[in-house]
Each structure stands twice: as C-alpha cells, then as structure tokens.
Amino acid sequence: MKRITILCCTALLLTGGCTTKEPTAKEKQTPTKTTKKEAPEPEVKAIEYRDPPASAKTPAESIIHQMIVHFKNGEKKKPTKADIISEATIGRQSILTIHSPEGKNNYAFFYYEKKKKTNTWEISYIIRQRMGPRPKDMWDSNEEGLQLPMKTFDKLEADVNKDAHLWTLGDTKNNIVSIFTFKRSGAITDPAKEIVLKSKKQEAYLSVDTFNNPFLFYFDSGKVVMLSGNLSKEQLVHLADGLPSVHSSYFPRSPKS
C-alpha cells in the first residue's frame, strides 16, 4: 500500500508546518497564527495519506480512509462523513472540501482525478487552510470586486497542473468556497439545471452534490469555471456573475479602474 506522510516541524508549526518528504500529491497550506485567547489544541506531528480501498467509488468515500492526522500526544484522527462539506465533480475531475481533523478551524481542499487506466479517484493536489482568529491585517478584503457573502476572508491559490487553477476562500463563520478553472475537453454530460448569469448574459449550470450542497459551472473561452463549497445557490450565482473573464490577469477579482 502506498503511503504519503507529511511531517510538521515544531519550529514552523505556527506558520503552517513543513514537509520533510515531497508527496506525490502536491500540497499548499495557509500561514497560521494561534491567538492567546484560544484554548491550545493538540499539535499535529504528521499527516498521512494512504491509498483508498477498492470499494471507494467517489472522492468522498476515499478521503475518510485516506487521510490520517497524527498528533504529538499520540492521538490519531481521520475525517468522517460529517466533516465533508462538498464534493463537486465534472467528468473525471473533482474538488472535495472537508473540515480537517487537524483542528476546529482547519479545512482541506482536494483535487481528485479519475485515472483512465485504473478507473479510480486519486488525489493530485491538496490545499490545507486555517480560518482561525488572527490580526485584522492578516485577512484579505472584498475591495477588489469579489461578490462574496463575507467582508473579510482568507484566500489561497494554486496551479494544480498546467491546465487547471484553484482558488480557496473562507472565513471564521464557516463560509467556504472554491473557484476552480480547467481546460474544457469534450462534452460535459453531468445533469444540471441551466440558468442565466444576468450581468454576464450567458448560460451557467447549477447542480447539487450527494451532500445536498449546490455547485455551479459555466464555460469561458475553452475553460470550465466551477464554484463549490457551502454557499447557497443564490450566493454562488451572485459570485459567478461578478467574475471577470477567466483570461483576465486579475481573475477571479474585478478591481475597479
């Protein structure tokens, strides 16, 4: 069984940890800062990723067996079904969002690909993100046109491969959303409700995952733009309608001139 272990160094724990072994699945994480008012949580020693069982048919079914968080006090935790926030899948690509067992303010976003040879879902990229309390100047703001339901938020972005890019955003009130763009290849047959983005004057598609969370996608010049997380349908539509062209150097922001 293939295992990937990411060790967290004590000296770097408050700034996001470190890796002592380069994992097969690429990983990115947000800088963190623990405030004095918070009760101390167990320190993470390492995060282990294992191959999923053959019976796992979806990313959500896979992750509850794949991820194991090892704490310095000897405890171990895995994600449960209750930790899964959303699973947005189009074709052979999926963004899985979970509340991470690392701590109460920790989240993780997984980019899964379904491999043609094995027909199994494999993790290709990981973003670990902490949304806990921090000084005001460590939060991003809404000043550049992102039509989000939160005024301040934490944001990370990553090139998951040469054709796909992922942005993850969230706040301390459990508002979580990801914006995923990837190259369109062939027809997309996933069932979805067709809507119109009024400002863009273009079609978009609303679907619901197996956890009853909506996700939205639309096409833009050879790319697919997909939004998922735990926002409402109305909030996703509002956010999508305000996004600039995917080829804009500012995407997903729309700074005022």
Residue 84 CA to residue 60 CA, distance in Å, equals 7
Note the pLDDT of residue 133: 78
Note the pLDDT of residue 231: 95
Note the pLDDT of residue 132: 79
pLDDT tens for the chain, 257 residues long, are: 566 666 554 332 323 333 333 445 667 666 655 555 656 889 999 999 999 998 999 999 999 999 999 999 999 999 999 999 999 999 899 999 999 999 999 999 999 999 988 889 999 999 999 987 787 778 887 767 889 998 889 999 999 999 999 999 999 888 999 999 999 886 676 768 999 999 999 999 999 998 889 999 999 989 999 999 999 999 999 999 999 999 998 999 887 64
Note the pLDDT of residue 37: 61
Note the pLDDT of residue 241: 95
| C-alpha distances in Å from residue 209, one per residue of 61, 89, 123, 132, 175 | 13, 8, 19, 27, 17
Measured in degrees and rounded to the nearest 5, phi and psi for residue 158 equal -155, 145
Q: Residue 46 is which amino acid?
A: A
> Is the dihedral angle over the CA atoms 160, 162, 164, 167 positive or is it negative?
positive
- Which tokens hold the place of 20? 């002592």
235-238: long-range pairs with CB below 8 Å, 24+: 235/148, 235/149, 236/177, 236/206, 237/195, 237/197, 237/204, 237/206, 238/147
- Which tokens hold the place of 34? 């623990």
Note the pLDDT of residue 11: 30
Residues 168, 129 contacting (CB under 8 angstroms): yes
